[in-house]
Amino acid sequence: MHIVYGLLAIVLSAILSPILSGHLQGPITNPFAIVSVLITNAIWGIIAGLLATVLMRVLKL
């Protein structure tokens, strides 16, 4: 799910940056930035999933 958020953030940035600043900016202009956004969101997804698993086991849900 966090990777989907990353993709949506990249697309939204590509749509809004020309409207707001007059030229294309953001991760869409750099392939390394796209990969970085997706990896960062994947890592946060893993952390959130692990935390949720720990909390569920502690609370015995």
| 10-50 pLDDT, tens digit each | 999 999 999 999 999 999 999 999 999 999 999 999 999 99
Query: Which residue has tokens 């997706």?
Result: 38
**CA–CA dist 29, 5 (Å, integer):** 18
pLDDT at residue number 60: 87
pLDDT at residue number 27: 93
Report residue 1's pLDDT band, with 50, 70 and 90 as the boundaries. confident
pLDDT at 61 over 80: no
Domains held by the chain: number: 1
pLDDT at 55 over 90: yes
Range(s) of the domain holding residue 15: 2-59
